Amino acid sequence: MFGLPVSRGVAIGRAVLVAASRVDVAHYFIDDGHAPAEVARLRHARDTVAAELSTLQRDLPIDAPTELSALLDVHLMVLHDPMLAEATRQWIEVRHYNAEWAVTAQTEVLSRQFDEMEDDYLRERKVDIEQVAERVLRALAKEESLLPQVAHARGLGGEDPLVLVASDIAPADMLQFKGSVFTGFVTDVGGRTSHTAIVARSMDIPAVVGAREASRLVRQDDWLIIDGDTGVVVINPTPIVLEEYRFRQRQSELERARLHRLRHMPSVTLDGQAIELLANIELPADAANALEAGAVGVGLFRSEFLFMNRNGELPDEDEQFEAYRAAVQAMSGLPVTIRTVDIGADKPLDRMAAHELRHEHALNPALGLRAIRWSLSEPAMFLQQLRAILRASAHGKVRLLIPMVAHRSEILATLDALARARQQLLDAGVAFNRIEVGAMIEVPAAALTMPLLLRHFDFVSIGTNDLIQYTLAIDRADEAVAHLYDPWHPAVLRLIADVIAAANAANKPVCVCGEMAGDVAFTELLLGMGLRSLSMHPSQISAVKQRVLRSDTARLAKAVKSVLDSDEPSEAWLLAAERSVQRTSAG
């Protein structure tokens, strides 16, 4: 089975399925000692459903068809059947799944058993199980879980490593798995730069997305190989295949260890150009990884992740301030670039919060109310975030980054809001420092109007993930068009080169913080375009640094010219690289 490789390395482990139909229920591990309480929660939810069904049955009108009463009987039987009741309890006690996850895992197992039945009547009974499970999930949603979610559930489910298999996982759910037991993951849908893939990459575990059939073909507890370098997924491999991949796994770990030794080496090219390598982070806790990887600052803090998994309650100014300050302090004096929320597209607010703010139904989310458009439509929340970021600037070097700007009116409204936030803090006597303000270049319209942006902003940061999406009209999260999502497209490369040139000519800092920055296939090309600052997942810094150390920017700049004029830039680039190798070995 093949998919899109999104995070390097090889993972080998037992499959844990997150049910395709129920990705919107919470999935987390519970602490060892909390299993009895979680089982009690499940029992309580089941009692509620039993009472509901009995009431329904009791209140059936006299003339109701007898089938209806029989159906309710069947549902009551399913509810108490050990196949559902007992087995679900086991998922909690043995695997330490939370109750919702346990219900969906067992429903999935039963659904598949029913799918395989010869008898049509029995096969259709699957619907009853799903309907009962749905009722239990609804009852659980009303039962507040007081249990802490366990991020580090090492050793649970036996000694075998675990890999996660799902039809799709929202970035918010993926975030919950950060730092958990999983050593790899595979999904049916998604593109290379979908936010789910981005979070997976930040977890630095091998991952494959867009594998289409994965969650249907893989069964709970199957052994899986996930090759994050090639996109290959092997189900229940033979001993020979397993041995081969174990060998590759060891090789890849050795290579990582070798690269890791570069982490504190200065990032300077052969011709003496210093190249700034920064980190992308999602949460303040990631700052430690950034430092450990040798980043010289944070080039992109995706603050929207603070707004996820909140059950409708968004972080207030103080909570945000604490989070920003934590990141700033963890970076001990190195700059931290905080991007204002980029909610929308494939990072929706959770349903409750969206409902509260009436931002539920976007016709075309990628083109709708996202990023700065969203912030400007919620002025009170925007001001709150700006104040929190300004306050954090009193504790270190903070830079502010605005996502997805394209219009002059947006620029003016943003700067106006910032001035207001400053004034509010001044009036309240709250300390803050001067901060530089930058714009993300993510929309072709922005890339084509650089003089306007450079007049208003102190720096720019190219978000190639979105710039590619909007230049090529390819949804970055849709695997059906993933083959057309092409960073090598001449239009994309020319836009990037022009933005870098415009910023350099204006003497304003320019960075690339999209996934291209961490992809070693583009390091030399970007340096050749004149880029001197790249921001990426901490795990990619050493590999990119290795490329930097071997680069000669003057030579690369010459090679880039022909590539930008080419209709097939990737081929032209390969040719240029070959020529350069020949020249180096000849001379």
475 binds ligand PEP (CB under 6 A): no
209 binds ligand PEP (CB under 6 A): no
Residue whose CB is less far from Mg ion, 167 or 471: 471
Q: Using CB under 5 A, which of 463, 487, 518, 528 touches Mg ion?
A: 463
- Least Cβ distance, residue 573 to Mg ion (angstroms): 25
Q: Which token pair is 382? A: 């925007």
Residue type, 370: R
463 binds ligand PEP (CB under 6 A): yes
d(CA 408, CA 557): 32
Active site residues: 195, 513
- Least Cβ distance, residue 268 to ligand PEP (angstroms): 25
162: enclosing H helix or E strand: strand 162-166
Contact of residue 188 among Mg ion, ligand PEP, none (CB under 5-8 Å per partner type): none
* Residue 131 φ/ψ, nearest 5 degrees: -70, -40
Range in contact with ligand PEP (rule: CB under 6 A) among 9-17, 421-429, 448-456, 459-467: 459-467
d(CA 582, CA 587): 8
Range in contact with Mg ion (rule: CB under 5 A) among 190-198, 241-249, 463-471, 572-580: 463-471
Residue whose CB is less far from Mg ion, 402 or 572: 402
Residue whose CB is less far from Mg ion, 284 or 463: 463
Cα 150 to Cα 159, 221, 487: the distances in Å are 18, 21, 38
Expressed in angstroms, the distance from the first to the final Cα of the chain is 46
3 binds ligand PEP (CB under 6 A): no
466 binds Mg ion (CB under 5 A): yes
Whether the Cβ atoms of residue 404 and residue 369 lie closer than 8 Å to each other: no
Chain mean position to CA 455: 33
346 binds ligand PEP (CB under 6 A): no
513 binds ligand PEP (CB under 6 A): yes
Which of 319, 285, 315 lies closest to 202 in space, CA to CA?
Answer: 285
466 binds ligand PEP (CB under 6 A): yes
Adjacent-strand bridge partners of 221: none
Residue whose CB is less far from Mg ion, 173 or 346: 346
Helices 490-505, 464-472: crossing angle, 10 deg rounding: 130
Residue whose CB is less far from ligand PEP, 393 or 535: 535
442 binds ligand PEP (CB under 6 A): yes
Contact of residue 302 among Mg ion, ligand PEP, none (CB under 5-8 Å per partner type): ligand PEP
Residue whose CB is less far from Mg ion, 315 or 463: 463
Whether the Cβ atoms of residue 560 and residue 486 lie closer than 8 Å to each other: no
- Find the farthest-apart pair of alpha carbons in the chain and give their distance in angstroms, rounded: 97
533 binds ligand PEP (CB under 6 A): no
- 290 to 319, contacts with ligand PEP by CB under 6 A? 300, 302
- 101 to 120, contacts with ligand PEP by CB under 6 A? none
Chain mean position to CA 483: 20
Other Cβ atoms within 10 Å of 454 Cβ, number: 20
Contact of residue 350 among Mg ion, ligand PEP, none (CB under 5-8 Å per partner type): none
Residue whose CB is less far from Mg ion, 162 or 443: 443
Cα 501 to Cα 407, 448, 557: the distances in Å are 21, 12, 12
Which of 559, 553, 534, 560 lies closest to 545 in space, CA to CA?
Answer: 534
278: enclosing H helix or E strand: strand 276-281
Whether the Cβ atoms of residue 485 and residue 193 lie closer than 8 Å to each other: yes
Number of residues that bind ligand PEP (CB under 6 A): 11
d(CA 366, CA 158): 42
304 binds Mg ion (CB under 5 A): no
Range in contact with ligand PEP (rule: CB under 6 A) among 205-213, 460-468, 537-545, 579-587: 460-468
Residue whose CB is less far from ligand PEP, 210 or 514: 514
Contact of residue 464 among Mg ion, ligand PEP, none (CB under 5-8 Å per partner type): ligand PEP
Q: Using CB under 6 A, which of 514, 518, 528, 538 touches ligand PEP?
A: 514
Contact of residue 552 among ligand PEP, Mg ion, none (CB under 5-8 Å per partner type): none
Q: Using CB under 6 A, which of 267, 414, 464, 540 touches ligand PEP?
A: 464
Locus of tokens 């519970």: 30
Q: Calculate Rg over the CA atoms of the chain.
A: 26
Whether the Cβ atoms of residue 514 and residue 197 lie closer than 8 Å to each other: no
Locus of tokens 């240029």: 576
- 431 to 460, contacts with Mg ion by CB under 5 A? 442
Contact of residue 513 among Mg ion, ligand PEP, none (CB under 5-8 Å per partner type): ligand PEP
Instruction: By CB under 6 A, name the binding residues for ligand PEP.
Output: 198, 300, 302, 342, 442, 463-466, 513-514
Instruction: By CB under 5 A, name the binding residues for Mg ion.
Output: 442, 463, 466
